[in-house]
């Protein structure tokens, strides 16, 4: 099968859904042509890397000024700012060239930002929209938690526009994919054809653990892209509210913030206790050396891939309920759940003091990923949805 995969950001070995889905499709023997926008030097490097995996990549340059102008043009309308944020007439021309020279079997549109292309392609081609998550819920929360006045105003404008627009989008495409059952429920609410909304689990390559790696005894790890606002908020929450409680009992505790693009407020946290790695080639290497993984998420949407990565590496995890949204896991089984600073600090201290509890929680998390998020299984599920959409396109019900 040939899949034309449209994604706003170049897939790279970080926490991007498309990176794993493209890898799964390639591993299963399918051909993938990735269509994306080159917005930075890092994007250009990642395009080169992706070409080396076997995927064909088509991209055009989109400047920040073009994106801003695209967004500003939506202000007089009821459309969300993001609905045209990634629009490029040049990229659309390249897509049309591919459709003529190497027709795909199905077109996969990832994220609301790329739906503007999908809406034009859908009448003539089998098309799937991967919404990933229910974005308006995230923006509603971000507006509440943001400390920046300008940002709060943007979120206040964007959230209601997103809600109506993404619900409408889910009625236009023959299939909408979402990353969690919670997001599926939100999209299906008052949907005229709720069976069009499909839960597509996040898949991860499930490989054998490197048993030669030894864990530190007093190292905590928070992973994630460190300029993404929910991640920034969760780091500050932990450092401000929870870390001092842990340090009262264990003064020499170490905290590693592992992830790309730390913003200035994160960089300012660096001290003898807190280390910031920036981009690392392998998140799993850091997790496997850590004593405990942390997910002190205060708001967010979809599935937290940082949680699945902790499970994958059998790293015992302390998480808030918000971080576990959409996952069928239980307190004291695969994870310790804590929603107040005191409870969170106590859970961390309890794990630090109990090696057997760390082993049991870590092993249960690993088993959960093996049973529910194996990339080979999630890829098979996604291909079945593709086949359904293709069949409906070629044999429409009259």
pLDDT, greater one: 146 or 173: 173
| Per-residue pLDDT, 305 | 85
Write the CA distances from 200 to 29, 176, 358, 385, integer angstroms. Answer: 20, 9, 30, 9
* Structural domains of the chain, count: 2
Q: What share of the chain is helix, strand, coil (3-state, %, to 5)?
A: 50, 15, 35
The reported pLDDT for the residue numbered 14 is 44
Q: Flag the least confident range among 150-159, 250-259, 274-283.
A: 150-159
The reply to whether 214 falls in a domain is no
- Same domain flag for 140 and 187: yes
- DSSP string across 81-107: GGGSTT--HHHHHHHHHHHHHS--SEE
**Do 17 and 166 share a structural domain?**
yes
Q: How far is CA 162 from CA 16, 86, 92, 349, in A?
A: 21, 15, 23, 41
The pLDDT value recorded for residue 227 is 86
pLDDT of residue 302: 62
Is the pLDDT assigned to residue 248 strictly greater than 90? Answer: yes
Asked if 344 contacts 237 with a C-beta cutoff of 8 angstroms, the reply is no
SS3 of residue 275 by DSSP: strand
For the chain, what percent of residues have pLDDT higher than 70? 94
pLDDT for res 111: 93
For residue 154, is pLDDT > 80?
no
Evaluate the CA torsion angle 335, 330, 179, 300 in order and state its sign: negative
In eight-state DSSP terms, residue 324 is: G
Averaged pLDDT, 284-306: 88
Same domain, 52 and 195: yes
CATH number at residue 349: 3.40.50.2000
Contacts of 218 (CB under 8 A, 6+ apart): 250, 252, 253, 254, 291, 352
> Could you tell me the two tokens for 311?
């499970």
Predicted pLDDT at 278: 87
284 and 364 belong to one structural domain: yes
**DSSP secondary-structure letter at 173?**
S
Q: How far apart are CA 314 and CA 81, in angstroms?
A: 40
Any domain includes 213: no
In a domain, 211, yes or no: no
Which of 170, 75, 97, 96 has the alpha carbon at shortest distance from 131? 170
Q: Are residues 381 and 275 in the same domain?
A: no
Residues 46 and 94 in one domain: yes
**Residue 112 pLDDT exceeds 50:** yes
Average pLDDT over residues 46-50: 81
5-19, 135-149, 200-214, 232-246: which is most confident: 232-246
One domain for residues 140 and 261? no
Interval 57-68: pLDDT, tens: 999 999 989 999
How high is the pLDDT of residue 148?
62
Note down the domain range covering 239. 219-372
Mean of per-residue pLDDT scores for the chain? 90
Say if residue 365 is in the same domain as residue 384: no
In whole angstroms, give the CA distance from residue 204 to residue 375.
Answer: 5
Least confident interval from 211-215, 234-238, 250-254: 211-215
Residues 122 and 235 in one domain: no
Bigger pLDDT: 280 or 309?
A: 309
Instruction: Flag whether 98 is in a domain.
Output: yes
User: Domain check: are 186 and 71 in the same one?
Assistant: yes
How would residue 53 be classed by pLDDT, with cut points 50, 70 and 90? confident
Q: What's the pLDDT at 13? A: 43
Residue 54 or residue 155, greater confidence: 54
Report which listed range, 11-25, 161-175, 291-305, 338-352, is most confident.
Answer: 338-352
In a domain, 210, yes or no: no
The maximal CA–CA distance of the chain, rounded, in angstroms, is 70
pLDDT for res 17: 80
- Same domain for 331 and 234? yes
Q: Are residues 45 and 8 located together in one domain of the fold? A: yes
H/E stretch holding 160 reads helix 149-172
Checking if the pLDDT of 375 tops 80, the result is yes
Q: For residue 159, is it left (φ>0), alpha (ψ between -120 and 50) or beta? A: alpha
Q: Is residue 102 part of a domain?
A: yes
Residue 48: band (very low, low, confident or very high) from pLDDT cuts 50, 70, 90? confident
Does pLDDT of 79 surpass 50?
yes
In a domain, 388, yes or no: yes
Instruction: Give CA 250 to chain center in angstroms.
Output: 33
320 in a structural domain = yes
């Amino acid at each position: 099968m040939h899949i034309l995969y449209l994604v706003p950001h170049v897939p790279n070995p970080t926490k991007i859904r498309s990176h794993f889905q493209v890898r799964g499709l390639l591993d299963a023997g399918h051909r993938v042509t990735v269509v994306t926008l080159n917005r930075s030097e890092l994007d250009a490097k990642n395009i080169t890397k992706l070409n080396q995996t076997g995927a064909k990549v088509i991209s055009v340059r989109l400047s920040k000024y073009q994106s801003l102008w695209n967004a500003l043009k939506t202000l007089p309308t009821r459309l969300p700012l993001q609905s045209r944020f990634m629009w490029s007439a040049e990229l659309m021309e390249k897509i049309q060239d591919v459709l003529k020279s190497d027709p795909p079997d199905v077109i996969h549109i990832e994220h609301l930002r790329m739906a503007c292309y999908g809406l034009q392609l859908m009448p003539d081609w089998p098309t799937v929209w991967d919404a990933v998550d229910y974005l308006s819920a995230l923006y509603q929360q971000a507006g509440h938690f943001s400390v920046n006045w300008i940002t709060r105003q943007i979120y206040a404008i964007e959230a209601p526009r997103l809600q109506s627009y993404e619900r409408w989008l889910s009625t236009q495409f023959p299939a909408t994919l979402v990353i969690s059952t919670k997001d599926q429920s939100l999209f299906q609410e008052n949907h005229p054809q709720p069976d069009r909304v499909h839960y597509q689990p996040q898949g991860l390559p499930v490989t054998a653990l490197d048993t030669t790696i030894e864990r530190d005894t007093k190292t905590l790890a928070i992973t994630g892209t460190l300029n993404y606002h929910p991640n920034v908020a969760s780091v500050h929450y932990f450092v401000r509210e929870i870390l001092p409680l842990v340090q009262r009992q264990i003064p020499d505790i170490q905290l590693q913030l592992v992830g790309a693009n730390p913003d200035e407020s994160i960089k300012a946290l660096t001290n003898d206790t807190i280390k910031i790695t920036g981009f690392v080639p392998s998140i799993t290497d850091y997790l496997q050396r850590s004593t405990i993984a942390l997910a002190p998420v205060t708001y967010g949407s979809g599935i937290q891939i940082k949680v699945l990565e902790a499970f994958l590496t059998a790293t015992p995890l302390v998480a808030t309920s918000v971080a576990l949204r959409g996952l069928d896991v239980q307190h004291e089984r695969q994870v310790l759940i804590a929603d107040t600073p005191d409870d969170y600090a106590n859970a961390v201290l309890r794990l630090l003091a109990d090696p057997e509890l760390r082993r049991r929680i870590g092993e249960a998390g690993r088993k959960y990923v093996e049973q529910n998020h194996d990339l080979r299984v999630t890829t098979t599920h996604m291909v079945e949805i593709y086949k359904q959409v293709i069949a409906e396109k070629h044999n429409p019900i009259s």
